[in-house]
């Protein structure tokens, strides 16, 4: 039980860090005149790279050297999470749920999807 709590806390901390870095880079790029839509690409790239490095080291404690294959699986799982997020958000807002609760529910759904994908498909031991 203690190991699961540590793993969950590390996952949240890594995700929170990536969110702050991604949001800061998005804001900086927009302030520099980049379109918010174009700025999302490097911001999301930075967030995915940050979570990959942080999750492999602190959440799932992988000792083996990183590989391109692992990174590509990680990106695939992350993109799957983006799809879950978008689908959940769209479904809930279409059903009439206000934006903020729909965003929160979509984030939780995607977070759960990502955690399971990372644990069992990317960093499975």
Give domain limits for the chain.
Answer: 1-61, 64-125
What pLDDT digit, counting tens, does each position of 64-109 carry?
999 999 999 999 999 999 999 999 999 999 999 999 899 899 999 9
* Interatomic CA distance for residues 45 and 64, integer angstroms: 23
State mean pLDDT over 3-21.
94
Query: Residue 10: is it exposed, middle or buried by C-beta count within 10 angstroms (0-12/13-18/19+)?
Result: middle
**What pLDDT is attached to residue 110?**
94
Q: Tell me the two tokens of residue 32.
A: 């520099």
């Amino acid at each position: 039980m203690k190991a699961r709590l540590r793993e969950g806390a590390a996952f949240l901390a890594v995700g929170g860090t990536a969110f702050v870095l991604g949001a800061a880079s998005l804001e900086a790029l927009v302030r520099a005149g980049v379109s918010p839509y174009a700025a999302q690409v490097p911001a999301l790239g930075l967030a995915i790279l940050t979570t990959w490095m942080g999750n492999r080291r602190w959440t799932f404690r992988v000792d083996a050297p990183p590989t391109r294959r692992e990174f590509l699986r990680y990106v695939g799982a992350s993109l799957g999470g983006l799809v879950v997020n978008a689908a959940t958000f769209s479904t809930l807002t279409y059903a009439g749920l206000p934006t903020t609760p729909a965003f929160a529910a979509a984030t939780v759904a995607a977070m759960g999807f990502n955690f399971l994908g990372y644990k069992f498909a990317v960093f499975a031991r």
